[in-house]
Structure 1
Amino acid sequence: MLLTTKFLRPSTDRRAIRRDRLNMLLEPADAKRLNLVVAPAGFGKTTLVAQWRARSTGSTAWLSLDEHDDEPRRFWQYLIGAFEHAGLPGLEACKPLLVHDQDETATGTITALINQLAADGGQWALVLDDFHLIRDDRILRALAYLIDYLPPSVTVTLASRTEPPLPLARWRVRRWIEDIHPALLAFSEGECRQFFQDTMGLDLSDSEADAICRRTEGWVAAMQLTALTGARGQEPQPTSAPRLQVDERHISDYVLSEVLSQQSAAATEFLLDTAHCPRLCGSLCDAIRGSQDSQQWLEHLLSQNLFLIPLDTQSQWFRYHDLFRDALLHRIRHLDPDRARSLWRKTVDWLLDHGHVQDGILQIVKEADWPWLASVLAEHGNNLIHGGYHLPVLEWIESLPPELIHDSPQIQMLRCWALFFANRLDTLDPLLTTLEDLLDRRVADSHPDAEGALGLQSEISLIRSYLARTRSDDRSASVLTRQVLKDIDHTQIPLKSVTYYGVGLDYFGEGLLLDAEDALLSAIRYGQLERKPSTVLSSGGLLAWIQYNRGDIEQALSTCTDVRAWVDQHYADPSQPRLISCWQNSALAEIYRERNQPDLAAAHLAPLLEHVDRGTEPGQHVIIQYVRGHLAFSEGRLQEAFEVLEDAVRIGRKRRDHIVFEPPASSALLARCYLAAGHPDQALECLDPADAGSFSNPLNREQYLISCARVQVALGQPDRAQEILSSLLSAAERNAHNRHLVEILLVYGEALDLQGRHEEAVEMLDRAMAKASEAGFLRLFSEESPRLQTLVRALPALQAPGAWNQDLRTLLGGCRPAEPDDQPGPAGPGAQTTANPALLPEPLSQREMEVLALIHDGHSNKDIASRMAVAPATVKAHIRNLYGKLGVGRRTEALARARELGLLSR
């Protein structure tokens, strides 16, 4: 006799959350034969399937399986009984066949069932709940036979904690399967809020419900246990306290009873041994277990859906569901506290030894092992700070007992660096003085670490050099930096990268761009050796900014690409935000704006805007707003440019004493916005004469004075403009300030033309054209006055062949160039090529030749970007330049033209 209650579909609670997005997936489809609903215990598999069938019009044969059904004859008896209970006629013939099937494969019975379903012709659904309890190979083979030959009107649904060993790969290729996995079953935040309010009848705020949802990761059983605990009349809570909190004790009991109790002893041992790992990989688990089979265990647990979540697509890194891991930790600490402590130390040691320092520190902090934390910070804190994690380091230091800080010069030095990077400069002087006194005593007392004390003295000098820059005391800053550079080879502390960055800032502040470039190249090289990604990014960003202003845009882009690739290769952590350099992203935004690619400029600017909103070092604030305003100005969004640049001017003046390095002259750009709006008097007003003497950086002083000259031209005073510009011209040429040199020549040319000196004006403008073409400057021409643009359009030199000339003609004509990827190039399809087919108006650069070769090999833009380790946008830019120089519009034309010129073999 069969137990008929196993055939009853669970009733659905009218208050249950309707999951229409999943119900739609379960519905029958043309090719589908199987719904596979696989998730750990408590994810709502049965509720979902029951809810779906309650709203469906077809017939349902439901079978709730138990551990006794893992026997072929019993399994098939119950499966046929489920169909019979649901009203499928003609099954009387199946029962005798089942009795006579000698090999227990039930082939005859299954064939008869298939034939009867086909004869019935109705829409049927077979649901097998708790299918993970079926492990017998004979049942699994027979069920695969049934699914292979089912009529199209029948859909099988398996609800299981593990993926069954059926021929799923073959069926997936045939599109027979709809997979409902844990990520789909997990409740969204909206569903969580609805669950607590409608199903559990709890009046929680959205923020409280969302917090529980995040903690449980949408695991409905954990949410229900939490809700049931909270509904049992807890003591009233303060108004500010959450009214409902995740009840980890009840969840732990649930895990132990529903999950661990059903695992083998070996699986349970693996789970408990690895519970301390915040993230898991095979080598980590092997190290703490003393074994070699951990990867196989991880893959087994993943196939069993034991709350193991993959963190990559290569099945190398995983993590346990947080609440599941908490339950495991509670279990092992209760069973064997000494072993738990040993496993924890092994886990932390492995994390620290393999570069996962932050994960290791977080585990130490959780256990409040303060002496170990102080030791780890002394060893790794400097690199963490220079990797952009100064705020966590500061928080960890402040959690240490005071005596551990007072007795450790290294920890005190770390605190100073962390405060410096956090821009809390006002607190540094007394701390540095206290630390200097401690170090002096150690040297005087011949302390065993006296040599380390001398190294820390160099670090103090380096910080004091940066503080001197905030006070515009460039002389003291330079003296301190060079003293550190002189002493640095005698210390054991890696400081060369930071010191050379300071030297680069000094040279940049003096307008010596070539010397600054050399120093910053050294800063990048030593930063890579010292593993300081923040210094590498900052040095590379400032170097790119300098190269851009020097007129070497391609080199600036290459610098950004190389530096970004090194940082991402050595310091990419998907759990942490991407390390961003204000200098680098600002340089990229300026470069792409200048090359008339505003979308790319905006993409590099976007990550910086949140720093403005949240608050950042005032110098960085001004730089970001300057670049933001410049992009708005270039695109004609003058009102936005006014607002942003006025903010930059205000912050620059108000916070001048807190700015470490002098930002660009925002007032000069603001004046240009007023000129563009037709308000030269307001432009003159915003150029405060007091600012002229406040700029210590010659680049910023030049920028300010060029704007002054523009205003004088606009006011009809060309002689005054000429006087200003003539004083700038030779210095800009001498110091390779090539961007400013082009601007000086352009405005000078307009001033001469206003004086009727047309031939001299054309000579100046031709010089500007030649210098801009050589450097790749483009957009700055369209930012000048309409009168000056008219003068440039009339230049005979502008009509010469070449991609740059054509881009400038297009820009000054008000048109944007086409996109380069298999679209008509700047010359247009079928455009006339150069007169001499053996020569190019502009030679191809090394990068363009490399792109050409990869195009010839048949690679897509994406493949080219990957092989060259550059952004796809950079590849598009190279292709656009390539098309322009070859005078073609498509890849096939480019290859044909390159072969004609002998650039490629035929």
Structure 2
Amino acid sequence: MANTKDTIRNALSGHINTPVLREPMLLTTKFLRPTSDSRAVKRERLSALLESRAPKRLNLVIAPAGFGKTTLVAQWCSRVSSPTAWLSLDEHDDEPRRFWQYLIGAFEQAGLTGASDLRKQLAHHSDDTFTEAITGLINTLAHDDSPWSLVLDDFHFIGNPAIHRQFAYFIDYLPPGVLITLASRTEPPLPLARWRVRRWIQDIHPGLLAFSEDECRQFFHDTMGLDIADEDVHAIYRKTEGWVAAMQLSALSGKDASTSGNQINLDERHISDYVLSEVLEQQPRELSDFLLETACCPRLCASLCDSIRGSDNSQELLEKLLSQNLFLIPLDTRNEWFRYHDLFRDALQLRVSHQDPDLAARLWHRTVDWLLAHGHVQEAIAQIVRQEDWSRLARVLAEHGNNLIHGGYHLPVLDWIDALPQDLVIDNPQLQMLRIWGLFFANRMDSLEPLLSGLEDLLDRQVADSHPDAEGALGLQSEISLMRSYLARTRSDDKSAADLTRQVLREIDHTRIPLKSVTYYGLGLDYYGKGELTEAEDALQSAVRYGQVEHKPSTVLSSGGLLAWIQYNRGDIDLALETCTEIRQWVDKHYADPTQPRLISCWQNSTLCEIHRERNHPQLAATHLKPLLEHVERGTEPGQHVIIQYVRGHLAFSEGRLQDAIDALEDASQTARKRREQIVFEPPASTALLARCYLASGHPEKARACLDSRADTEFTNPLHLEQSRISEARVLVALDQPERAQEILSALLQPAERNAHNRHLVEILLVYGEALAKQERTGESEQMLTRAIELASEAGFLSLFAEESPDLRALLLGLPALDEPGSWNASVRKMLLDQRQSGEGHSEAKPSAISGERGPTTLNAETLPEPLSQRELEVLALIHAGHANKEIAAKMDVAPATVKAHIRNLYGKLGVGRRTEALARARELGLLQG
């Protein structure tokens, strides 16, 4: 089997200089599953572990070269009946576009319907995140509904962080029944801990690859061709517990060890001790010293090893250990980072601590020093906690805790502070302030006020007593003021919040604490709450800039997300998307850790969901919403809860899932009302959107009652007040009171225009136009609606029109402005026509972009919104006869593009999305026989 893999790799070598094509030719030998070696040990018990079962999504087969990973997986594949795709990776696949071309190509080669189109689309895709392509593959697998398996062999060749992020996204959203198997020499940097908690992973590691006694016998007799007596096989198996690595290492004790079990004299209770002694005794003094000196390192690299050893040859020694496979596990594909097997490392540490305790202590201190100096703060803290060096933990937290908290690690910081003896915390202002910040980010607001008062008392005492750190302690006053400004926001005390924030800005340049980003974020929230959007944008841009300087990724994400949210609501969709993209790229470049859950911002993901929903890309919107829903299910800060449920409800409303929308928006409205004191900003006006849902479902009185339940005085943000008043006008139009609606809209028009609230301005003009039409003021109505179209086309709004009432949509379709040339006009017109043909929109049977479920349809021959034309009936008959588009074009003597247009119209009239559905629907309607 190894020869098969070598053959594939040799074949690849001739393709290194092949020119890159827009639609590259794929090397089909990479999709061939290796044939099983008849001499190989049959691993039935491991094959059973690899079998598909809920909720598993990933088989992880991790072991050094020569452990039989590929053999095991190939054997398993040969026995399963489900469709299986195989891809052998190599060093040339460590590039995102090529990786996904080949991965989709593997499915295509294995027969997945639709994979070919996906791969062709990917070749022309300019977005380097490939989100749409990956989402397309996930949806294709979901629609196929088969228990697919995908094997990626030699995954250790993939080291590109972008691919790891994309692949993690792919695994996160796999449909049920699809199983991925990775065979790799190294554990990939994926969110494995999170997936293991969810029971998505079956790990096959070297320990599980250990042979049973029968497998051990097969290994020596059949695979290795060695003539070993059964009693010797039994002795080796018993003494090594079938650990293949230990059996290999036993050969180091002498030339005849592999053929004579009697030469192995082990204490069966301490197999790891045996392995350790055999390894150390067999190595040159230089290597054995290296093993002992570096055992204190949780991870190893040449620089770290050189630093603690006072040498410059560590890279050479690491490579020697790696070549001998002496329990050294690579953590990357560049031979830069390694770790020892945990049992082996524990045994080494035990040995050095017994032989020379002073040396062990010095080495440990040097290791922690290096980790801190090189930015590996969490690893350093883990080592300090393990050694229970509490005084050093207190010093490290005082120095690095602020950045850890603002990097999203507030919960571990709280745990570390709780682990400290109280006498180290009670008189330490820095640690007390860290606890306050940690509790703030953990949304445990109720406990903050007494802690702040206690800290102020401590600072006063230290200043009065001329404490050595009195100057540094005074700097904490700014942090206290900043925290009090956020608490003032939770009480809706905007004046106190603004005064405290400005006080911090005046003092901030005289402190040693990096606070500018968090302060400007608070200032941005203040301006946003008052509707001063230009000032809010300026403050938030400053927060992003200072957050990057201060290395605070969570503040950068939150500030950039709120900035994008404002840009979107002002109508600058392209600018909002650009802001989100730039912020995401900066965070991923500087703070991406694939082993940890991806750092996300409620503001940013909500903005991206709104952008893609507005652009009529509900599937893409749902991909940004889904991670937020996990936070709602687990429990999140109430302000974030309201935003997420609002965006969730808006997406459901746009898709016509009215009951889902009502459920989400009622929850958002109740949470905003009941937990207002815990929310540091005014959330979106959920009741305004909820009223629209009631209108769409035919309950205008419910809509009116919903709006009447909240007074305008509850709004401090003019955007939210506008949103509520526009919904009120919609209700009045629905209740046939257009004159009253016009009064409301007239008062809103100029302020929205003056403040560049462009999204609301378009909505005001649309509803105003409908109110005028209700009064038979046709000319004025057309003027209002035409102006709305002009503004919306500049901003790129789409779904906004489809969410309006049926009467208003009919008015829009009658406007000459919508017939003018241009892709935007064509998109809006097609969207409205499709909506009319499918039953005026907002049907409870519409599919969900999140679930992918399709509801029942009720079309019949008498209720088709528009009959099929003669040409469309011809196309339908040719489809029924099994002809492809090109053949249909030839038979009808028209261009292929014309055929596609007929098919598109045909699908729209029948309310279907593909050929098989069209034929089934046509039979139901009596348009086809058989």
Question: Given the two structures, how large is their TM-score scaled by the length of structure 2?
Answer: 0.63
The answer to whether the 8 A contact 1:619-1:663 is kept is yes
Alignment of 1:499-538 (within 5 A): 499-538=519-558
Q: 2:771 aligns with which of 742, 746, 751?
A: 751
The CA deviation at 1:703 is 1.2
1:200-227 deviations in Å (ceiling 9; x for gaps): xxxxxx99x9999799864648999999
Which amino acid in 1 is paired with 2:503?
Q
Q: Are the counterparts in 2 of residues 251 and 323 from structure 1 also a CA contact under 8 Å?
A: no
Instruction: Select 1:451's aligned residue among 429, 453, 471.
Output: 471
Amino acid at match of 2:512: Q
Contact residue 504 and residue 515 of structure 1 kept, 8 A: yes
Answering whether residue 788 of structure 2 is matched by residue 768 of structure 1, we say yes
Change (3 A) 1:222 1:592: farther
| Paired AA for residue 804 in structure 2 | E
In 2, Cα distance between equivalents of 1:795 and 1:12: 75
> CA separation in 1, counterparts of 2:506 and 2:183?
65
Letter in 2 for 1:480: L
Mapped to 2, the partners of 1:303 and 1:13 lie a distance apart of 25
Note if 1:309 corresponds to 2:309.
no
Displacement of 1:250 in angstroms is 3.3
1:648 aligns with 2:688: no
Letter in 1 for 2:597: P
Who is 1:636 aligned against? 656
C-alpha displacement of 1:21: 8.2
Deviation at 1:400, TM superposition (A): 0.7
Kept in 2, the 8 Å contact 1:40–1:306? The answer is no
> What letter is aligned with 1:648?
A
Q: Does the 8 A contact of 2:64 with 2:329 survive in 1?
A: no
SS in 2 for 1:662: coil
Contact preservation (8 Å) 1:541, 1:585: yes
Task: Identify if the C-alpha distance between structure 1 residues 217 and 490 changes in structure 2 by more than 3 Å, giving closer, same or farther.
Answer: farther
Mapped partners of 2:209, 2:385: distance in 1: 28
CA distance in 2, matches of 1:376, 1:248: 43
Residue of 267, 291, 295 corresponding to 1:275: 295
Question: Partner of 2:710 in structure 1?
Answer: 690
Rounded Cα–Cα distance in structure 2 between residues aligned with 1:801 and 1:400: 70
Contact persistence 2:802–2:809 (CA under 8 A):
yes
Matching residue of 1:570: 590
The one-letter amino acid paired with 1:814 is D
Q: Is the 8 A contact 1:662 1:697 kept in 2?
A: yes
1:804 — aligned with what?
824
Q: Residues 181 and 406 of structure 1: is their aligned pair in 2 closer, same or farther, counting only changes over 3 Å? A: closer
Aligned to 1:408: 428
Counterpart mapping for 1:261-272 below 5 A: 261-272=281-292
Aligned partner of 1:487: which letter?
A: E
SS in 1 for 2:329: strand
Question: In structure 2, the residue corresponding to 1:557 is in which secondary structure?
Answer: helix
Distance 2:549 2:212 in 1: 48
Q: What letter is aligned with 1:339?
A: L
Identity %, equivalent residues? 68
Tell me, yes or no, if structure 1 residue 541 matches structure 2 residue 561: yes
Q: Could you say which residue in structure 2 is the equivalent of 1:490? A: 510
Mapped pair 1:557 → 2:577 = yes
CA positional deviation for 1:377: 0.7
CA distance in 1, matches of 2:186, 2:425: 45
Spell out, residue by residue over 1:274-324, the C-alpha distance to the aligned partner (whole angstroms, 9 max, x if none): 222222222222222222222233333333222333323333222223233
Aligned partner (choices 458, 465, 469) of residue 489 of structure 2: 469
Partner of 1:388: 408
Give the direction of change, closer, same or farther, for the CA distance of 1:788–1:300 in structure 2 (3 Å limit).
Answer: farther
Query: 1:449/1:794 Cα in 2 relative to 1: closer, same or farther (>3 Å)?
Result: same
1:358 to 374, 378, 382: 378
Of 42, 45, 49, the residue aligned with 1:18 is: 45
Mapping of residues 570-719 of structure 1, within 5 Å: 570-719=590-739
Quick one: distance in 1 between partners of 2:655 and 2:274? Answer: 60
Q: 1:248 to 1:761 in 2, by over 3 A?
A: farther
The change in CA–CA distance for 1:515 and 1:251 in structure 2 (over 3 A counts) is farther
Deviation of 1:509 after TM superposition, in Å, equals: 0.2
CA shift digits 1:491-549 (9 cap, x unpaired): 22111111111110000000111110001111111111111111111100000001111
Q: What is the rounded CA distance, in whole Å, between the counterparts of 1:743 and 1:212 in structure 2?
A: 52
What 5-or-longer segments of structure 2 have no aligned partner? 1-38, 52-61, 80-181, 214-236, 243-266, 838-930
Q: CA separation in 1, counterparts of 2:268 and 2:367? A: 23
The range that moved more, 748-757 or 679-688, is 679-688
- State the SS of the aligned residue for 2:364: helix
2:856 matched residue in structure 1: none
Cα distance in structure 2, aligned partners of 1:319 and 1:297 = 14
State the 1:628 CA deviation: 1.2
Counterpart residue type for residue 321 of structure 1 = H
More deviation, 419-428/700-709: 700-709
The one-letter amino acid of 1:618's match is P
Question: Helix, strand or coil for the counterpart of 2:756?
Answer: coil
- Superposed, which structure 2 residues align to 1:860-899 within 5 Å? none
Provide the secondary structure at the position in 2 that maps to 1:812. helix
Q: Is the contact between residue 642 and residue 668 of structure 2 (CA under 8 Å) also seen in structure 1?
A: yes
1:323 aligns with 343
Q: Distance in 2 between matches of 1:454 and 1:222?
A: 67
2:362 aligned with 1:346:
no
Could you say if the C-alpha distance between residues 38 and 529 of structure 1 is closer, same or farther in structure 2, counting changes exceeding 3 Å? closer
What's the CA shift for 1:23? 13
Q: TM-score, normalised by structure 1?
A: 0.65
Asked whether the 8 Å contact 2:276–2:344 carries over to 1, the reply is no
Report the alpha carbon displacement of residue 795 of structure 1 after superposing the two structures with TM.
1.6
Note if contact 1:216-1:323 (Cα within 8 Å) is conserved in structure 2. no
In 2 relative to 1, CA 249–221 (structure 1 residues): closer, same or farther, beyond 3 Å? farther
Q: Say which is worse superposed, 299-308 or 719-728, in terms of deviation.
A: 299-308
Residues in 2 aligned to 1:222 and 1:441: alpha-carbon distance in whole angstroms: 69
SS at 1:485's partner residue? Answer: helix
Report if the CA contact (8 A) 1:451-1:491 is conserved: no
Residue 920 of structure 2 corresponds to: none
Aligned positions of 1:36-47 closer than 5 A = 39=64
Q: Which of 444, 448, 452 matches 1:424?
A: 444
CA distance in 2, matches of 1:732, 1:808: 24
Decide which moves more: 400-409 or 793-802.
793-802
Q: CA offsets, 1:454-492, max 9 Å, x none?
A: 221111111111111111111111111111112212222
Gap change, CA 1:255 and 1:734, over 3 Å in 2: farther
Partner of 2:762: 742
Aligned partners of 1:614 and 1:511: how far apart in 2?
A: 32
| Deviation of 1:418 (Å) | 0.5
What is the number of equivalent residue pairs in this alignment? 631
Q: 2:563, 2:408 → 1: CA distance?
A: 19
* 2:286 equivalent to 1:296: no
**8 Å Cα contact 2:570-2:757 kept in structure 1:** yes
AA in 2 matched with 1:465: S
Alignment CA distance shift 1:265-1:249 (3 Å): farther
Contact kept? 1:377, 1:411, Cα under 8 Å? yes
RMSD, aligned α-carbons: 3.7
Contact 1:44/1:220 (<8 A) preserved = no
